[in-house]
Amino acid sequence: MLRGIFKMTEKVPSIRLNSGYDMPVLGLGTYNSFKPNEVGDAVKAAIQMGYRHIDTAWLYKTEPEIGVAVKELIKEGKVKREELFMVTKMWVHCHEPDQVEPACRMSLEALDMDYIDMFQIHFPVPFVDKERTKPTMTDYLDTWRAMEKLVDKGLVRSLGVCNFNKQQLERILKMDGLKYKPSNNQVEITPYLAEEDLLQFSLKNDISTTAYAPFGAPGQNYVSKDAPKLLEDPTIVGIGSKYNKSPAQVILRWGIQRGYAVIPKSTNPARLAQNMDIFDFKLSEEDMKTMLALDRGLRNNFQTFKWKDHPFFPYKD
């Protein structure tokens, strides 16, 4: 059926990480997929279309289903494990150094894999429990030192962080005895939240960036029900019409041309295929600037976060 509906796309370009590995610039996000088999079917469809970058996390509860789907495709000869770039994240209740390796091994077991391509600290604020009822003061630098040991043990190939700000990245880079720099910082980036300063700092310091929720998470509405909808923005729609591309394709292309990876989430095969179809055009310099001018600092995630006074909360500004 896939053969009849979708065309296979040429290999997705990759970013060379400071760890020496390559990360495809387009990946599949898997957050907010709760129906049985939903994420597994999406992963199977995506991989058969040419996706090789799959993003998950302990918090998403999608690791087991993703692991089963990948294993089935490997068994069928559709893909090899070494062709895939698997990303997962350690949740906030595992920041204590002695909890880091068990958290990693838990994800490895759930995915049924021998190694993780990118293992990330999901959020800089630590908590005593997974429900985030009580924060602690565990320093993410101590967590990072424990993360480095995962690379030495062959459990992880590259290390990263998620939702870290510029100052927090800088603090890791300056820590005593740093062995492995962060290879990636995964943050919310959209045309309404361009994060230009953070992006340029990361590029300068050889830290790749991945944008989650590149369309502004239209199904979540954390900001308000009246928040502007990126995919309906007349400027983006107009640019898309010039290239005969959808607003979603314009947003993804804009991100890749700025130098970061994108991981749009979808379980719809047609949208998965559309998101892949972004390598046959290039936005002009003028259109890139027009898109950047849409930035209004509109953050979708963490607006209702209870512990914003914690010293490690990344979005105080």
Residues 6 or more apart whose Cβ sits within 8 Å of residue 74: 80, 81
What is the sign, positive or negative, of the torsion defined by CA atoms of 59, 263, 287, 16?
positive
**Amino acid at the residue 144:** W
**What is the rounded distance in angstroms from the CA atom of residue 26 to the CA atom of residue 43?**
13
**Angle of helix 247-258 relative to helix 269-276, nearest 10 degrees?**
40
The kind and range of the H/E element at 117 are: strand 116-121
Active site residue 243: no
The string of DSSP letters for 204-250 reads HTT-EEEEESTT--TTT-SS-TTSPPGGG-HHHHHHHHHHT--HHHH
**What is the rounded distance in angstroms from the CA atom of residue 108 to the CA atom of residue 21?**
19
Q: Which of 51, 60, 115, 212 is catalytic?
A: 60
The residues that are catalytic are: 60
